[in-house]
């Protein structure tokens, strides 16, 4: 059973869930830290929703532990964006984490646990070498199949070769998906790739995992996207949402050329919506590899089995065609910042439904987003419907990210330490933070005197790698108001209330005891 088949008539009394705002950053090789990208997307989505603060936040990231070395990421990013006191959870289902987080937020509103939920997803990978990124993404696969060196491209290639044998899908059909999606990406100012390509370029690109070539595969991208969900009526309603799953191992699947997980998700989403695929005007489809778009179009029910390839070659899925697919450029051209992707698809659907994407606008009132998690093991279908006559809050501004992160001044060996001050609550932070740790207000640069009073301290006898034992760490309240963490040579004689001088050596603060 999936969510499409609840026992009894559970949905009858479920609260409607609406989309009050949506926004995203540019996708590509971005220099900003992930926390900044997610904060920019989140604040832009809140502005577009005309909301200052959500009741609850759901964060999607696939693997910040290994991409960035940061854990507890829900708290990390909520604090960074100024929402340290808003309840936050992180949801993860591999490459569909953004869609899964959207669903978790949907459940909070539908149950009445929350009234306004911010869902924000992002990933940053381009700072790592490609083989490392491939290895980390490949851990989504069955561990045993992975032990053979199977990566995501290898998985996709195994599926593709079977697809090409069974349905007569040829090289031109596979290549046309890329050509079409690059043509759409060229009209999207936020896309990773904004150049059109030709069939010949796809067919001449280097082989990655036979029969898949470079231009059949989506890029490695950074980016973030955010949605504001609400229980109040707005322009766009979530009409249906469905999840489907499948066995982790490819070798245990019933079919190689369709994904049971997408079929189950679509069936559940249409059951909740109360209508069928014939109502869909535009769709964002998970084309991490071009054959996945062809497979997904049939799995979702937008084309009959075996018909999506010819329809693609005939232009039915182009921007001007009968059923435009991936107007954003899809994963192939807009890019695939993992946990941002499921939300970026929904952002595009919201923008299409509210008529604010001029060069790629599709006439539509119902849109569908489909997301694939890992090797097709945890897939989602989300159906959105516009309600004409409602005022639209969703108005994207091109040229994201809209503001640059504050520059990070290196600390110097001086008695004044760089800091930042909240213009509202007066909290002082050293080193400076961009947003106030207590609420989402941009901090003002300032400096503080390098002296203060010990609030607490410890001597750590089993310090982590790279530190000598014993390691002396103190918390100090500076005269200027900031609370600092710092190192010292010794804590002997130190007490809470002791006065210490602080100096910065490079990036590191040190205290020295001045007596109590």
Residue whose CB is less far from a second copy, 100 or 285: 100
Q: How many CB atoms lie within 10 A of CB 445?
A: 12
Does residue 413 touch a second copy according to CB under 8 A? no
Stretch that binds a second copy, among 107-115, 171-179, 306-314, 409-417 (CB under 8 A): 107-115
* Residues 6 or more apart whose Cβ sits within 8 Å of residue 18: 229, 230, 231, 232, 233, 234, 235, 236, 237, 238
Return the closest-CA partner of residue 169 out of 65, 64, 298.
298
- Residue 349: CB minimum distance to a second copy, A: 21
Does residue 247 touch a second copy according to CB under 8 A? yes
Q: How many CB atoms lie within 10 A of CB 345?
A: 30
- Residue 138: CB minimum distance to a second copy, A: 6
Does residue 19 touch a second copy according to CB under 8 A? no
Distance separating alpha carbons of residues 261 and 63, to the nearest angstrom: 22
Does residue 370 touch a second copy according to CB under 8 A? no
Candidate residues 410, 464, 506, 515; the one interacting with a second copy per rule CB under 8 A: 464
- Report the relative pairing of strands 508-513 and 483-488 from DSSP bridges: parallel
**Which pair of structure tokens corresponds to residue 111?**
């149950």
- Taking CB under 8 A as the rule, which mask of x and - marks residues 373-412 in contact with a second copy? xxx-xx----------------------------------
DSSP collapsed to 3 states, 138-154: HCCCCHHHHCCCCCHHH
DSSP state of 190: T
Does residue 62 touch a second copy according to CB under 8 A? yes
Cis bond before residue 470 (omega within 30° of 0): yes
Span 149-208, contacts to a second copy by CB under 8 A: 149-151, 153-154, 157-159, 161-162, 165, 206-208
Span 108-147, contacts to a second copy by CB under 8 A: 108, 110-115, 131, 134-145, 147
Candidate residues 90, 124, 393, 400; the one interacting with a second copy per rule CB under 8 A: 90
Stretch that binds a second copy, among 41-49, 91-99, 188-196, 340-348 (CB under 8 A): 91-99
Does residue 466 touch a second copy according to CB under 8 A? yes
DSSP state of 302: S
Does residue 352 touch a second copy according to CB under 8 A? no
Residue whose CB is less far from a second copy, 413 or 461: 461
Span 432-451, contacts to a second copy by CB under 8 A: 437-438
Return the closest-CA partner of residue 24 out of 379, 329, 410.
329
Distance separating alpha carbons of residues 70 and 56, to the nearest angstrom: 22
């Amino acid at each position: 059973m999936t969510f499409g088949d609840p026992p009894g008539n559970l949905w009858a009394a479920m609260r409607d869930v609406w989309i009050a705002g949506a926004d995203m950053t540019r996708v590509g090789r971005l220099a900003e830290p992930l926390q900044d990208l997610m904060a920019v997307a989140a604040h832009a989505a809140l502005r577009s929703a005309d909301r200052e603060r959500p009741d609850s936040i759901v964060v999607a990231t696939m693997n910040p532990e290994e991409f960035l070395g940061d854990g507890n990421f829900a708290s990390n990013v909520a604090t960074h964006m100024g929402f340290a006191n808003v309840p936050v959870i992180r949801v993860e289902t591999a490459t569909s984490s953004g869609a899964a987080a959207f669903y978790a937020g949907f459940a909070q509103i539908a149950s009445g646990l929350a009234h306004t939920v911010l869902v924000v997803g992002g990933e940053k990978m381009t700072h790592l070498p490609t083989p490392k990124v491939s290895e980390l993404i490949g851990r989504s696969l069955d561990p045993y199949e992975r032990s053979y060196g199977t990566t995501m491209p290898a998985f996709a290639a195994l599926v593709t070769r079977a697809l090409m044998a069974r349905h007569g899908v040829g090289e031109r059909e596979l290549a046309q998906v890329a050509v079409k999606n690059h043509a759409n990406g060229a009209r999207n100012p936020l896309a990773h790739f904004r150049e059109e390509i030709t069939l010949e370029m796809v067919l001449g690109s280097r082989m990655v995992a036979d029969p898949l070539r470079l231009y059949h595969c989506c890029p490695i991208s950074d980016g973030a996207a955010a949605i504001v969900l609400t229980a109040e009526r707005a322009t766009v309603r979530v009409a249906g949402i469905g999840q489907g799953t499948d066995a982790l191992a490819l070798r245990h699947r019933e079919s190689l050329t369709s994904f049971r997980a997408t079929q189950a998700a679509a069936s559940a989403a249409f059951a909740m919506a109360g209508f069928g695929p014939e109502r869909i005007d535009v769709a964002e489809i998970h084309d991490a590899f071009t054959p996945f778009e062809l497979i997904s179009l049939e799995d979702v029910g937008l084309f009959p089995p075996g018909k999506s390839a010819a329809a693609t070659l005939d232009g039915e899925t182009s921007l001007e065609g009968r059923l435009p697919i991936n107007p954003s450029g899809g994963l192939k051209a807009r890019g695939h910042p993992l946990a941002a992707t499921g939300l970026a698809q929904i952002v595009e659907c919201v923008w299409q439904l509210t008529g604010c994407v001029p060069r790629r606008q599709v006439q539509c009132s119902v849109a569908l987003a489909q997301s694939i998690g890992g090797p097709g093991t945890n897939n989602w279908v989300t159906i959105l419907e516009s309600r004409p006559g409602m005022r639209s809050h969703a108005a994207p501004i091109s040229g994201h990210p809209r503001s640059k992160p504050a520059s990070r001044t290196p600390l110097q060996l001086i008695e004044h330490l760089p800091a930042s001050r909240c213009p509202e609550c007066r909290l002082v932070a050293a080193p400076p933070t961009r947003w106030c740790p207590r609420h989402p207000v941009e901090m003002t640069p300032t400096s503080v005197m390098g002296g203060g009073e010990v609030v607490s301290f410890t001597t750590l006898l089993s310090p982590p790698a790279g530190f000598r034992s014993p390691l002396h760490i103190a918390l100090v309240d500076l005269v200027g108001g900031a609370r600092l963490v710092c190192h010292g040579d010794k804590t002997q004689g130190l007490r809470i209330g002791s006065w210490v001088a602080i100096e910065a050596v490079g990036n590191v603060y040190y205290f020295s005891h001045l007596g109590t």
